[in-house]
Structure 1
Amino acid sequence: MSRHPEVKWAQRLDKVYVTVQLPDAKDVKVNLEPDGSFTFSGTAGSSNNSYELKLDLFDKVNVEESKINTGVRSIFCVIEKAEKGWWKKLLRGDGKTPHYIKVDWDKWVDEDDDAGDKLDLGGMDFSNFGGMGAEGMDDDLEDTDDEEQEVDKLQNAEKTEEAHPDAKMEAASST
């Protein structure tokens, strides 16, 4: 019996990002058809569980320009739309979106904010859908805490001034 992997997606005017989250996936097969049919299969886990997925994307796609990267933790696909435009949703049809498909808020851009900006793919090595991508995609992106550290410093300085108002005067008079 096959299972469904978790899928995250986001879009731009000209492309859709689809990430199949399946750590240590083996025997990965991804197929994309011009009509928007997207299929995935692979195995993962210590029991080599089988995972399969078939998505009927909202509209037609450009297979030749689309790319895939098979990494250690996920399979990342950049699917080029056949025609530029915002899709109302990922899948065609009126049915409810399956529970294993979620919006990728890290990559999401609102329609009003999309000025053709390119997503920074961190130098990932992509190959076309006909082959396999490079191994070792690293999903761990470090976030900097510079702003939080600055706010903490200001708050600590204010607390020190409140607790020791004379210290501020002494520092000012010694200059």
Structure 2
Amino acid sequence: MTGGKVTIPDWPERTTQPGDALREIFTAMGGSCELTERGLTFTGTGRIHGIDVDLGEVGELTPGIAAVAALADSPSTLSGVAHLRLHETDRLAALTKEINELGGDVTETADGLHIRPRPLHGGVFHTYDDHRMATAGAIIGLAVKGVEIENVGTTAKTLPDFPDMWTGMLGA
């Protein structure tokens, strides 16, 4: 997103985890990734392209992909994820509301989201006590100054140390 590099150590060569789809998705969005003995390294160019992708098999990635797509230079359509309306919160409605409140242009579709690029601005990103919403807000906050995540501690569901790790990674 920001034109830097992130390495995830010990990434397996083969995995059935949904996160493995990020390699293909982020490459399609203009980045690159390389799997080495050190781990999986994602490299951003500083420019993000929109994507048309069916996330039905990896729906839990939708909030993060939507956050990245909100920063893209062309529209994105995320489909196959109508079931996200039934998670901790209606994630499709929540993503639409929160990204739009930061200046975005997101509309819900029958089974996903359509995201059109617009300049975003700071503001409070509500999490609805949903860990994936918190990480989506954090992703947008990497590129948009002044984004505040309400209840970032909700990430404790999957990664209890997320707030401290995130702060440390950002050097804050």
Same fold? TM cut 0.5: no
Which is bigger in relative contact order (C-alpha 8 A, separation at least 6)?
A: 1
| TM-score interval for Structure 1 and Structure 2 normalised by the shorter chain | under 0.3
TM-score normalized with structure 2 length: 0.26
Higher helix content, 1 or 2: 2
Higher strand content, 1 or 2: 1
Who wins on radius of gyration, i.e. which is larger? 1
TM-score normalized with structure 1 length: 0.26
